[in-house]
Structure 1
């Protein structure tokens, strides 16, 4: 079996709120919950598990998607009035980058820095 990414546990102040945010912005789908986890699944079947935890060190996650999904996600960000930037330094607010595909940076409800992009770095 080839190696692939299966799941990650994401610490969240409010796991249900975070899961709902990712469902709306990424267009993910709900998955069965168990234990302390609120679970959602991406199109490639990667499982994102949200667990109650203090968020002392926010993480960065990037989500590669096609143009249509990016536009849907970006519209969700604007509808939800989520602050966003064209750069990871957060110096270009309310913009997207179009230098190499489309790219936008934003924070989830627990402060994790997320990125949606249409062109992979490699």
Structure 2
């Protein structure tokens, strides 16, 4: 089966946005790659942050979900709270400063500097849960 190699994340400041996520994930410093700030994840997928051209068509913030271990989740949540960042238990942002426990795992949502909804979860959602959302 094919696997995702890289994707482009639109931003207003490519390195600031890439460093924001790298800091939460404790990932290496993003590297310049052409017009991108490339953030390589442990699974080999690269997020290529691209700066939005001034005066061009506006981009729509989107959602990115990261499957992490329980230990990684604790560390990420610690970094979120250490930085006093707002976070939510749901993508609609209706449950502030809470985490969720869907499917027996844990999950949390934050907004990055460009309004992208970043989710960190410890279990992939089951087909049963997805059918009932």
TM-score by length of 1: 0.91
Q: Moved runs in structure 1, 4+ residues, more than 4 A?
A: none
For structure 2, list consecutive stretches of 5 or more residues without a partner in the other structure. 127-133
Contact 1:30/1:41 (CA < 8 Å) preserved in 2?
no
Q: Which residue of 1 aligns with 2:118?
A: 114
Q: CA RMSD in A?
A: 1.5
Looking at structure 1, the residues matched to 19 and 46 of structure 2 have their Cα atoms a distance apart, in angstroms, of 14
Distance of aligned partners of 1:11 and 1:38 in 2 relative to their CA distance in 1, 3 Å threshold = same
CA shift at 1:31, angstroms? 5.0
Q: Which residue of 1 aligns with 2:130?
A: none
CA shift at 1:99, angstroms? 3.4
For structure 1, list consecutive stretches of 5 or more residues without a partner in the other structure. none
Q: Which residue of 2 aligns with 1:70?
A: 73
TM-score by length of 2: 0.84
Q: Which residue of 2 aligns with 1:7?
A: 6
Higher Cα Rg, which structure: 2
